[in-house]
Amino acid sequence: MNLELGYIKIKDIKFADKAEVKNGVLSVSKKDLEKIILEDENFTAVDFDIAKPGESVRITPVKDVIEPRCKVSGGGDIFPGVVSKVHTVGTGRTHVLSGMAVVTTGAIVGFQEGIIDMSGVGADYTPFSKTLNLCINFTPKKGLHTHTYEESLRKAGLKVAYHLGKLGKDVKPDEIKSYEYLPMMQSAKKYPNLPRVGYVQMLQSQGLLHDTYVYGVDMKQSLTTMISPLEIFDGAILSGNCVSACDKNTTYHHQNNPVIEDLFEQHGKTINFCAMIITNENVFLADKIRSSDWTAKIVSHLDLDGVIISQEGFGNPDTDLIMNCKKVEGVGVKTVIITDEYAGREGTSQSLADADPAADAVVTGGNANQVITLPKLDKVIGTLDYTDKIAGGFKGSLNKKDGTITVEIQAITGATNELGFNKLSAR
User: Catalytic residue numbers?
Assistant: 242
E runs forming strands in 167-259: 175-180, 196-204, 210-214, 217-218, 225-226, 237-241
Of the two residues 134 and 368, which places its CB atom closer to other proteins in the complex? 368
Give the binding site for other proteins (CB under 8 A): 109-111, 146-147, 204, 206-210, 220, 241, 243-244, 247-248, 282-288, 313-316, 318-319, 342-345, 349-355, 369, 388-389, 391, 393-395, 410
Whole-number Cα distances in Å, 405 to 33, 109, 369, 413: 33, 21, 15, 15
Shortest Cβ 355–other proteins spacing (Å): 8
Q: How far is the CB of 218 from other proteins (least distance, A)?
A: 9
Least distance to other proteins, CB of residue 147, Å: 8
Beta bridge partner(s), residue 73: 93
Nearest CB to other proteins, comparing residues 52 and 141: 141
Q: How far is the CB of 170 from other proteins (least distance, A)?
A: 41
Q: Which phi-psi region, left, alpha or beta, contains residue 382 (left: φ > 0; alpha: ψ -120 to 50)?
A: left
Decide if 397 contacts 405 (C-beta within 8 A): yes
Residue 10 CB coordination number (10 Å): 22
Shortest CB 318 distance to other proteins, Å: 8
User: Residue 147: phi, psi to the nearest 5?
Assistant: -60, -40
* 65 DSSP β-pair partners: 103
Among residues 166, 143, 172, 51, the alpha carbon closest in space to that of 102 is found at 51
| Of 247, 246, 248, 250, the residue nearest 237 (C-alpha) | 250
84 vs 370 by CB, closer to other proteins? 370
- Amino acid letter at 140? P
Rg (CA), the chain: 21
- Write the CB contacts of 391 (distance below 8 Å, at least 6 apart in sequence): 111, 113, 243, 244, 245, 246, 408, 410, 411
CB atoms within 10 A of CB 346: 10
**244 or 250: whose CB is closer to other proteins?**
244
Q: Of 75 and 344, which CB lies nearer to other proteins in the complex structure?
A: 344
- Its sign, for the CA torsion 122, 317, 241, 280, is positive
Ramachandran assignment for 347, one of left (phi > 0), alpha (psi -120 to 50 degrees), beta (any other) = left
CB of 315: closest distance to other proteins in angstroms? Answer: 3
183: Cβ contacts below 8 Å, ≥ 6 apart? none
Q: How many CA atoms lie within 13 A of 274 on its CB side?
A: 27
Residue (77 or 341) nearer to other proteins, CB: 341
Closest distance of CB 98 from other proteins, Å: 29
| C-beta closer to other proteins: residue 310 or 369 | 369
Question: In terms of C-beta density within 10 A (0-12 exposed, 13-18 middle, 19 or more buried), how is residue 144 classed?
Answer: middle
